[in-house]
Amino acid sequence: MRFKGFRKEITKGRYLNPFKNFEEKEILIEVRHDEITGVATRILPYRVRSAHKPDISAYLEKSPESLCPFCSPLFEKITPKFTPNIIPEGKFHRGDAWLFPNAFPYDANNTVAILSSRHFISLDELTPQTMKPAFDVCRDYFHRLAEMNFGYKYCSINWNYMPPAGGGLIHPHLQTIAGHKPTNFMQQIIFSAQNYAAAENGENLWRDLIALEKDAGERFIAHTGALSWLTSFAPKGMAGEIDFYFHEKTSFFDLTEANFEELLSGLARVFGYLYANNFISFNMSLFAPMISNRYLWVQGKITPRFEINPIGTSDLNYFEKLHNEIICPVVPEDLCRELQLYFKG
């Protein structure tokens, strides 16, 4: 049984192939529509991924430790502090991780959490132990906001890792957002869950989606404790997309210490896959209600990012930016099979 919110359209094209003596060649274009997320993706499996890991030395040269605001001695001098009513010390602190206001915020409540004092941490070094303090300090911040009873309803933990993903600094850091209203994407999936419940006698969209994807066996990667890991039917990125869902967790504050251990273990497996396949960058977001909302299970997405050689072309073009469609050379079902190997054992 396939989830009825997923649609595929196949179109054919032809051209005379210069690499085979101008013989006629037929090409297939598969357009996928995900009615849950509102994403349309063109699956183009003829596009080739990078065979070599990009050289990161140029990024490190342009963002040296001596000029990094997250490194000593600049960290104490130029990173913002919270007002005393939020935290008297000015910053949240766990181990070697710190959380503080974003000096260039995207939202009224936008913070930065550095993983540690280390200026650069490679993908293969993003272990659960390395990531835990930063995620813990994000949790501390959200719990403090809840204690202060601001009435915020939605939050997210976000990660632009390295410049190809929009990371303005090499120093690894997370960003959090909390507010009264959801972002556009969160609103889209909430509407989808509400509409599904109305059409299906109150059934839960996320519960049914995970069950159907598991039965289909095409994009279901693994179940780890309270988490299910899938590849997205219609990815939001050129290199595919990995989704994760916390079962029956309808608020950020439903998540336990064990839940975060499961999350970080799964993230480390995904990052291990990315490192082995010559990626150096990704975007990640975890979306959550701060007040229990059955229409939004706590969930997230990981999108690998890269530049296209030889001149470092962005992996985003006019289709993504202006037509609201994604070009993806990675077949989600193939990506799922590759990732399953990293979740075994």
Residues 302-334: pLDDT tens digits? Answer: 999 988 877 788 888 898 899 999 999 999 999
Q: How confident is the model at residue 51 (pLDDT cuts 50, 70, 90)?
A: low
The CA-CA-CA angle for residues 236, 238, 242, to 5°, reads 55
Residue 180: is its pLDDT beyond 60? yes
pLDDT for the residue 49 = 60
Quote the distance between the C-alpha of residue 191 and its chain's center. Answer: 20
Neighbours of 44 (CB within 10 A): 16
Residues 116-168: pLDDT tens digits? Answer: 999 999 999 999 999 999 999 999 999 999 999 999 999 999 999 999 999 99
Tell me the pLDDT of the chain averaged across its residues.
Answer: 94
| CATH, range 57-305+330-343 | 3.30.428.10
Closest CA to 275 of 302, 315, 304: 304
Amino acid at 115: L
pTM value is 0.95
Closest CA to 36 of 198, 157, 250, 209: 209
Residue 1: is its pLDDT beyond 50? no
pLDDT for the residue 313 = 85
Closest CA to 53 of 148, 140, 162: 162
Domain residue ranges of the chain, discontinuous segments joined by + = 57-305+330-343
Tokens of 240: 């595919």
Report residue 302: phi and psi, to 5°: -125, 125
What's the mean pLDDT in 36-60? Answer: 83
Q: How confident is the model at residue 2 (pLDDT cuts 50, 70, 90)?
A: very low
Residues 16 and 67: their CA atoms lie apart, in Å, by 53
